[in-house]
Structure formats: structure tokens, C-alpha cells
């Protein structure tokens, strides 16, 4: 009779070992952090005695669940912004808030909040990717969980590194510091191919190989990513990263939504672990990953919640259930991804995907004691059919909830008993988290006070200091413009011809109006080429009028539009939208020492009879503006335009 630390007895044990052994009246013998035997209770208590014998009557014991992909500190951003398109969500909310708030303290707090939630839902291991990953590691270790902690590396400045080189150095020191920890497996996490470079990825692989740690990366999450890869590299995402030998590292590839059969083959051949994130992929409308095909190819596909900011929880029961349900519709076959295989993904396949199945993922002698104890005798799981052994998997995957987890043990240590967390002070945690949310609310409210500050917040707009002087008039005969241009005192510096699509966004309770202009260049043979898109923000009531309806506009903000129109519409929540299409002939002319712009416009939509002429000049001071207004008035008189033809409003107002 051997005396050991702990015997867990009289439970139903779902081992998830190679033979899927189920032990009806089973027991687990644990010494220190390790399972030393798994068998019937009768056999175990015959061979072992223990300081702690825990009666697990009526409980079902499963391997602690493995959350194969998350950004745990983002638990603090849960519910910050939902039901938005990826770019609006990421560029409009996540990144500005992260730039402002992500500090070591934020990361530690978010990690503890995430650990509390995951422990309560039966998770003992997770794979993370974030900034200040040493703080994730420290908080995870203090909570007693097992973490594959990936330090992010980006080609852009990050909250924890000014440059790619700094990020790489930070990652190296993180690996040095956390190598050989009993709970933490440090990892290298180049964010994604589109946020890194060839060089960066190669350095990341070298680093991962040097320390023999996993490499955690996002791959092929969206169709757009694949298109961009084809444009930039001439191949899809998987062959691209394969060509730069990424898979020489023990890779954890998150998402893999848009991959074709050949890419599935590559992932299988290169033993890449995949983290499937069904909720996040649905919520951001990224698509449905070909999980059935990947599993058939023998890929270790684990299940991940992704961050709570795009989920919005870290519940592996929900995630596993969704993975099983979704695969059936994706493959048009209700026998796809049956319950046992789904639980496999959430446990041993997840551990394999993380390259740590020697440590966790199943209940077997020699592995760490990472366990979740379920009470499956509640209404929503009853009754129990036992005709086939598969029934227990179906019960766990399709009917049980995370709140049916009663106890959790990780690495031989109890993290939860009777749903009470033993390693985390939750009251304190809740108060701190709520304080952080209140701070972020204040920050975002201030920034969203008006359209200008909301645009400035995402770095889209720069105030342009110059003013503009302009006059506009209806014109029935465009020939008068040509007469003007033929005058000997007028010199043409440049001539161009565009089709302009101007979309005006208006907002509730705001004097601002944003114009999104797309200029299509019209060639001599009438072909259209998109040249550029620009944003112009104007505020009504900020004009000053001179004689002859010459208007001085002030406080204009102008910028290249780096995002599609839809982004601005959704991010700024435009109340109204109005589009005008016109053909514009434009001349840069010099007259009496001044550079002027003459636009001859023909409205196409809404269509309008006749033409419009605009005379404009840039200016930098009020006095200069007055002088230019005089010159423009003179030119107007040459054109013979009657005062009744002068227009004080812009196209938006004319056509509305």
C-alpha cells in the first residue's frame, strides 16, 4: 500500500485517453502535481492510501478543458463595442482604447478576471497572445492555471514595444524569464502575416526554435486576408508563411477559416496545431472554418474562445457545443463532429494543438492532474440514457453548462471547490474591473462628444490651417469658361478631368458634415481610373461671405481617406447620407500673380440642366482672403455671370 497525496474516488471518469476509456466507479491517484494511476475505485484504494480522499460520488470527472486561443486581458474590454464590422470594432474601438489603457496593471487585472471565469467553466489550460505577456504569465501562475503565454510581436508600435526590434527583444527576455516554469509555457506570438514582415516572422521562428517553445499566430481569419496575400505575395496565406519556413516552429495557428484543400494538407504535413474559434468567427462574420476536413486530414484542431471582446465570454462549454453544431451545417452532414470528437477537441486535441499533450488534455498516469468535476444530475441534463457509451459525451457537449462544473484542479492544486474560487480574490477583482470600465467609458464619451474628435481619435484627420476663398455660379453655356481661359492674362498651369462621387454624411445633433470624395480620373478616351479618396469635414455656420457671394470657408479638415466609405458611415453612425456625382473639368490657372482653380462641373446624379462653375483659391490669412476675393470678383465679371446665377450654398444644399 503506497501512501500518496490525493485519491479522487467513486466518480465517473471520462479519460479522453487513446481508447476513450470510461471508468464507471473510478478513482484517480495523485502525487504532488501528477496523476500516478487511473482505475476503478476498488483497485485504486487497494493499492493506495492518501492524506486526502475525496468522494466524487455522482460526479463526472473530465480532463480540464483547453482554451486554445484567447487574448485574456481583453476580458476587461468585454461588451465595450459589439455588433460592429471588424475594422470599425478594431480601429475605432479596440486599438484606441488599447493605446490608451494597456499597461502592466491592466494586463494583470484582465488576466485575473479571465482566469476567474475560465476556472469557473472548467478550463485549466489556455493559449494566450497579448502585450506585457510577463504580466499575463505572472497572474496566470498566481491563479494556478496552465498557460501557453504568447508575447505579441508587431511591425507597428505596440503598447509594450516601440518597434519590431524592441518587441523581439522583449519577447526574448520574456522567454528567458519564464522558461521552465511548472505552469507557464512562454511562446513567441507574431500577431499575423499582415501585421508583420518576412524578417519579423523569420526572427520569430528562430527565437521559438532557440527556446523550443510554441509560436502562436493568427492565420487566414478572413477572406480579405487571403485576397491581400494573393495580391501581395501571389499565393494564399498558408503557402506564403510556409515559404518563409514558419512551420519549422511548433506552430499554433488561430482561426484558419479560409483555407483550401491544399492548405489543409500543408497544415497536416507540417504538424501545425489549429485553434478553431467558432463564436468569434460567427460574430465578426469571418466565416465558418472547414473543421471536419481538417480533422479528417489528421490535424490537431483545438477550440478557442478568442478574446472576450469578440465573443463575449470565455465559456468553453458554449464554444465546444457551437463547434459541434456548426460543423454539421458546414459539412451538410449531421453525423459530422459527433459529441465525443467535440470533447476531444476541447481536451486532448487542444493540448496537441498547443504542443503540450505530454502535460495535459487527458486523464492518464504520468500527466499533470488537470481536472474538471461536473454535476450532470441537474434538470437540463436529465434524464441519462446509457444504451451506448457515447451518451456521456452527448450529455457533456450538448446539454451540460459551464455552471455544472463543481470543482476544478490544475497541476494537482484545487482552484475551485463547490464553485468557490480558491486562488482569486473576486470581490477586489470586480471592483477594480468596474473602475477600469468606468475610466474607459469616460475616455470614450469625451472622444465621442463630436464628430471631429471621433475622427481625430483614430488618427484619420489633420486640421488644415489654410482657408479657402470660392465663388460658385450656374452656367448655361460652358463656352464662356473657354473664353476666359483664352484671355492672354490667364495662364493654364494644369488641366484635369474627373468624375467625382461625393457622399455627404450628416449626423444627429451635430453641425459637422463629412464629405467622402472619390475622384475617378477621366482619360482622353473616356476611361475611368480611381485616383484617390478624400475626407473633408466642414462645420456649418463657419463661413464668411464677401461681396458677389465670394465665400471664405474656415475650419476645414481634410485628409486622405484610408478606409472605405462604409467604415466612416458605421464608425460615425451617420444619420443621413446623400451622394452627388459630377464630372469636373479643372484648370489650375495663374492670373495677376495668383494661383486659382477653375472647376467646370456637370452634375450627373442627381441630374441637373446646365453647368456650374467654381472659382477658388487657397489662402492663409484673412487679409490675403480679402485680396483674393477681389481678384475672383473681377474674373466673375469677365464671365458675364448675372448675380442671380451666383450660388451661396454648396452642392449638398443645392441638390437637397
Q: What's the sign of the alpha-carbon dihedral 237, 151, 372, 421?
A: negative
Q: What's the sign of the alpha-carbon dihedral 196, 202, 207, 208?
A: positive
434 vs 496, which CB is nearer to a copy of itself? 434
Give min distance, CB of 377 to a copy of itself, in A.
7
Give min distance, CB of 477 to a copy of itself, in A.
48
Give min distance, CB of 267 to a copy of itself, in A.
22
The residue from 268, 288, 490, 581 that contacts a copy of itself (CB under 8 A) is 288
Give min distance, CB of 285 to a copy of itself, in A.
4
Residue 311 touches a copy of itself, criterion: CB under 8 A: yes
The residue from 66, 129, 436, 473 that contacts a copy of itself (CB under 8 A) is 436
551 vs 540: CA distance, rounded Å: 13
Residue 371 touches a copy of itself, criterion: CB under 8 A: no
Residue 570 touches a copy of itself, criterion: CB under 8 A: yes
Give min distance, CB of 87 to a copy of itself, in A.
10
481 vs 602: CA distance, rounded Å: 13
Give the largest Cα separation in the chain, rounded: 113
Axis-axis angle for helices 164-178, 198-211 (nearest 10): 10
**Range 374-433, binding a copy of itself (CB under 8 A):** 377, 379-387, 390-391, 394-395, 398-399, 401-403, 426, 429-430, 433
> How long, in residues, is the chain?
656
Which string of x and - marks every residue 515-554 that binds a copy of itself (by CB under 8 A)? ----------------------------------------
The residue from 139, 314, 451, 636 that contacts a copy of itself (CB under 8 A) is 314
Question: Do 443 and 100 form a contact (C-beta atoms < 8 A)?
Answer: yes
Q: How big is the chain by its Cα radius of gyration, in Å?
A: 32
The residue from 133, 313, 502, 585 that contacts a copy of itself (CB under 8 A) is 313
The residue from 285, 479, 524, 642 that contacts a copy of itself (CB under 8 A) is 285
The residue from 33, 98, 108, 117 that contacts a copy of itself (CB under 8 A) is 117
495 vs 376: CA distance, rounded Å: 78
Residue 123 touches a copy of itself, criterion: CB under 8 A: no
**Range 146-185, binding a copy of itself (CB under 8 A):** none
Of 141-149, 196-204, 279-287, 626-634: span binding a copy of itself (CB under 8 A): 279-287
**Range 318-347, binding a copy of itself (CB under 8 A):** 318, 321-322, 325-326, 328-329, 331-339
114 vs 167, which CB is nearer to a copy of itself? 114
166 vs 169: CA distance, rounded Å: 5
Q: Long-range contact list for 159-163, CB < 8 A, 24+ apart?
A: 159/98, 159/99, 159/102, 159/103, 159/131, 159/132, 160/102, 160/131, 160/132, 161/131
Which string of x and - marks every residue 72-111 that binds a copy of itself (by CB under 8 A)? ----x-xxx-xxxxx--x----------------------
Q: How many residues bind a copy of itself (CB under 8 A)?
A: 78
The residue from 201, 289, 405, 440 that contacts a copy of itself (CB under 8 A) is 440
Q: Where are the alpha helices (DSSP H) in 162-260?
A: 164-178, 198-211, 223-233, 237-243
Residues 6+ apart with CB under 8 A from 70: 114, 126, 127, 128, 129, 304, 305, 306, 307, 308, 314
Residue 599 touches a copy of itself, criterion: CB under 8 A: no
The residue from 271, 287, 364, 450 that contacts a copy of itself (CB under 8 A) is 287
Residue 284 touches a copy of itself, criterion: CB under 8 A: yes
Q: Which three cell numbers stand for residue 139?
A: 497572474
115 vs 67: CA distance, rounded Å: 11
656 vs 652: CA distance, rounded Å: 6
Amino acid at each position: 500500500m503506497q501512501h500518496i497525496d490525493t485519491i479522487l474516488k467513486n466518480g465517473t471518469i471520462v479519460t479522453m485517453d487513446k481508447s476513450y476509456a470510461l471508468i464507471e466507479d473510478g478513482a484517480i491517484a495523485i502525487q504532488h502535481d501528477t496523476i500516478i494511476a487511473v482505475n476503478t475505485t476498488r483497485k485504486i484504494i487497494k493499492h493506495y492510501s492518501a492524506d486526502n480522499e475525496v468522494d466524487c460520488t455522482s460526479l463526472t470527472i473530465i480532463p480540464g478543458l483547453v482554451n486554445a486561443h484567447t487574448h485574456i486581458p481583453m476580458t476587461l474590454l468585454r461588451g465595450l463595442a459589439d455588433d460592429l464590422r471588424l475594422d470599425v470594432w478594431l480601429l475605432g474601438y479596440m486599438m484606441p482604447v488599447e493605446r490608451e489603457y494597456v499597461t502592466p496593471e491592466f494586463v494583470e487585472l484582465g488576466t485575473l478576471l479571465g482566469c476567474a471565469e475560465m476556472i469557473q467553466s472548467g478550463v485549466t489550460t489556455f493559449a494566450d497572445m497579448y502585450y506585457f505577456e510577463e504580466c499575463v504569465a505572472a497572474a496566470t501562475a498566481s491563479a494556478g492555471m496552465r498557460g501557453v503565454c504568447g508575447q505579441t510581436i508587431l511591425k507597428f508600435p505596440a503598447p509594450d514595444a516601440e518597434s519590431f526590434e524592441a518587441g523581439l527583444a522583449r519577447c526574448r527576455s520574456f522567454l528567458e524569464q519564464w522558461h521552465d516554469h511548472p505552469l507557464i509555457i512562454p511562446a513567441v506570438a507574431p500577431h499575423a502575416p499582415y501585421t508583420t514582415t518576412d524578417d519579423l516572422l523569420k526572427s520569430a521562428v528562430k527565437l521559438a526554435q532557440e527556446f523550443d517553445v510554441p509560436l502562436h499566430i493568427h492565420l487566414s481569419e478572413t477572406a480579405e486576408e487571403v485576397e491581400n496575400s494573393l495580391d501581395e505575395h501571389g499565393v494564399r496565406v498558408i503557402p506564403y508563411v510556409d515559404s518563409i519556413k514558419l512551420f519549422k516552429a511548433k506552430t499554433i495557428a488561430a482561426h484558419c477559416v479560409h483555407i483550401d484543400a491544399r492548405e489543409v494538407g500543408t497544415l497536416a504535413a507540417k504538424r501545425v496545431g489549429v485553434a478553431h474559434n467558432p463564436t468569434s468567427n460567427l460574430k465578426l462574420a469571418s466565416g465558418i472554418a472547414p473543421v471536419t476536413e481538417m480533422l479528417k486530414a489528421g490535424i490537431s484542431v483545438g477550440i478557442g474562445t478568442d478574446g472576450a471582446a469578440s465573443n463575449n465570454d470565455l465559456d468553453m462549454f458554449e464554444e465546444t457545443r457551437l463547434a459541434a453544431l456548426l460543423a454539421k451545417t458546414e459539412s451538410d452532414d449531421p453525423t459530422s463532429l459527433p459529441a465525443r470528437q467535440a470533447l476531444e477537441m476541447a481536451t486532448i486535441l487542444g493540448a496537441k494543438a498547443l504542443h503540450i499533450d505530454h502535460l495535459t488534455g487527458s486523464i492518464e498516469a504520468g500527466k499533470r492532474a488537470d481536472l474538471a468535476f461536473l454535476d450532470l444530475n441537474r434538470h437540463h441534463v436529465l434524464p441519462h440514457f446509457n444504451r451506448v457509451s457515447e451518451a456521456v459525451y452527448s450529455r457533456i457537449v450538448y446539454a451540460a453548462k459551464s455552471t455544472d462544473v463543481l470543482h476544478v484542479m490544475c497541476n494537482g492544486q484545487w482552484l475551485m471547490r463547490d464553485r468557490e474560487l480558491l486562488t482569486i480574490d473576486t470581490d477586489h477583482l470586480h471592483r477594480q474591473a468596474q473602475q477600469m470600465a468606468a475610466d474607459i467609458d469616460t475616455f470614450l464619451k469625451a472622444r465621442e462628444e463630436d464628430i471631429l474628435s471621433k475622427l481625430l481619435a483614430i488618427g484619420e484627420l489633420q486640421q488644415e490651417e489654410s482657408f479657402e476663398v470660392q465663388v460658385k455660379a450656374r452656367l448655361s453655356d460652358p463656352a464662356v469658361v473657354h473664353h476666359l481661359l483664352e484671355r492672354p492674362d490667364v495662364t493654364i498651369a494644369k488641366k484635369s478631368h474627373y468624375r467625382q462621387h461625393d457622399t455627404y454624411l450628416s449626423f444627429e445633433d451635430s453641425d459637422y458634415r463629412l464629405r467622402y470624395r472619390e475622384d475617378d480620373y477621366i482619360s482622353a478616351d473616356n476611361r475611368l481610373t480611381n485616383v484617390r479618396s478624400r475626407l473633408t469635414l466642414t462645420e456649418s455656420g463657419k463661413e464668411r461671405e464677401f461681396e458677389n457671394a465670394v465665400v471664405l470657408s474656415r475650419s476645414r479638415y481634410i485628409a486622405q481617406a484610408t478606409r472605405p466609405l462604409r467604415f466612416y458611415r458605421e464608425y460615425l453612425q451617420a444619420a443621413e447620407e446623400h451622394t452627388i456625382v459630377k464630372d469636373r473639368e479643372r484648370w489650375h490657372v495663374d492670373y495677376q500673380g495668383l494661383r486659382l482653380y477653375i472647376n467646370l462641373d456637370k452634375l450627373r446624379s442627381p441630374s441637373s440642366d446646365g453647368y456650374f462653375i467654381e472659382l477658388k483659391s487657397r489662402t492663409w490669412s484673412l487679409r490675403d482672403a480679402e485680396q483674393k476675393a477681389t481678384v475672383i470678383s473681377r474674373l466673375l465679371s469677365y464671365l458675364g455671370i448675372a448675380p442671380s446665377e451666383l450660388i451661396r450654398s454648396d452642392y449638398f444644399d443645392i441638390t437637397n
